[in-house]
Amino acid sequence: MPSGKTVWPRLARPIMLVPALALLALAALAGCQGSPLALNPQSPQAGSISTLAWTLFFIALPVFLLVEALLLFTVLRFRNRRGAEEPPQIEGNRRVEILWTAAPGVVLLIVLWVTFQTMAFVLESPPESMQVQVIGHRYWWEVKYPSGNFTTANEIHVPVGQTVRVDLTSIDVIHSFWVPELSGKVDMIPGHQNHAVFRALNVGTYRGQCAEYCGVDHAYMGFLVFADSPTTFAAWVQNEQQPAAQPTTAAARQGQELFASSACIGCHTVVGTPARGVIGPDLTHVGSRTTIGANLLPNTPANVARWIADPQQVKPGNAMPNLHLRSDVVDKLAAYLESLK
Ligand SMILES: [Cu+2]
């Protein structure tokens, strides 16, 4: 290897940084396309987190500018000049030292105070809050509505304008509940209960994501929060409380028999049938969900069939094994599950 010395003029290297940084910023922006943004709050709780972020930014900005200005000034003003003599060597200046210790201390105390204020606000749940329980599994979300006495998965419905308290825990490893537009990240810890609170201000669908590395499918552990109008929400609850619908087509009926007589029932629950498994998502109303695989694929008959045929190919590493079913069996199972509206 030749020596690392280049022939570029000294200024060329810092200048090369400019296009590099521009490219990086562009890549970061492209990556954000269509992603939920914590700086686009849709609840008072997310709003207060976003305000905190901006507050910290505007506290940090003058500090940064001051420090960089002093640095540049010192570097330029006291640089080595040709023929200059060595300046007098001095050490210590009590006044300056006290100042530069106390000033950051004061700034950090202010930061601590605004952070505590925000934390207290975002975790405050008034007694009239609606309660939802979310339990993290590798790699999906179990969702329970204690007041309605039903269970679903990966899609949380809430009425718009209502404060919701989400009690959070995990069945296996630490996960983290995060809906950037509605609530901050809250750890889901096995054997321990935390909670998140939010009040959705607008009807809409908000994307959530596991925010604590929990294994191979961590990145595919997504979910959706639907903020519904009160009537839509009431209709949804009403439907969820019903036992599973009876299939009406021949294929779906055969699928129901196949389901009831195979390994599926060891892991999945379908209320109103012998299926009582709790390893995987509750499938009582799986046909009415918009996605499968923890917000991985749109819920279509083709995707459900693809999933049942080989879940490991669709979401490698997830807890549902490839059961090596014949394709006609797969199609009947899919027809059955899609009929469970
Ligand atoms: Cu996770």
**What pLDDT, in 10s, does the model give residues 198-230?**
999 999 999 999 999 999 999 999 999 999 999
**Ligand 1 geometric centre to CA of 207 (Å):** 15
**Ligand 1 geometric centre to CA of 138 (Å):** 6
- Any idea of the CA torsion for 276, 278, 279, 280, to the nearest 10 degrees? 80
What pLDDT is stored for residue 2 in this prediction? Answer: 46
Radius of gyration of the chain (CA): 28
**Ligand 1 geometric centre to CA of 210 (Å):** 5
pTM over 0.85: yes
What pLDDT is stored for residue 20 in this prediction? Answer: 74
**Ligand 1 geometric centre to CA of 273 (Å):** 30
Confidence label for 11 from pLDDT (cuts 50, 70 and 90):
low
Mean pLDDT of the chain: 93
Give the C-alpha separation, 211 to 209, whole Å.
6
Confidence label for 3 from pLDDT (cuts 50, 70 and 90):
very low
What pLDDT is stored for residue 24 in this prediction? Answer: 75
Q: Regarding beta strands 163-170 and 130-137, do their DSSP bridges make them parallel or antiparallel, or are they unpaired?
A: parallel
Confidence label for 272 from pLDDT (cuts 50, 70 and 90):
very high
User: Average pLDDT in the 189-198 region?
Assistant: 98
List residues bridging with 163 in a β-sheet: 199
CB 233 within 8 A of CB 200: no
Give the C-alpha separation, 122 to 116, whole Å.
10
Q: Is the pLDDT of residue 319 over 70?
A: yes
Tokens for 319, please give them. 């807890």
**Ligand 1 geometric centre to CA of 208 (Å):** 11
How many Å separate Cα 233 from the centre of its chain? 23
Give the C-alpha separation, 105 to 173, whole Å.
37
**Ligand 1 geometric centre to CA of 295 (Å):** 13
**Ligand 1 geometric centre to CA of 169 (Å):** 11
Q: What are the structural domains, with CATH classification, of the chain?
A: 36-65+103-232 (2.60.40.420), 250-338 (2.60.40.420)
Q: Is the pLDDT of residue 4 over 70?
A: no
Q: Is the pLDDT of residue 316 over 90?
A: yes
User: Average pLDDT in the 61-74 region?
Assistant: 96
**Ligand 1 geometric centre to CA of 135 (Å):** 10
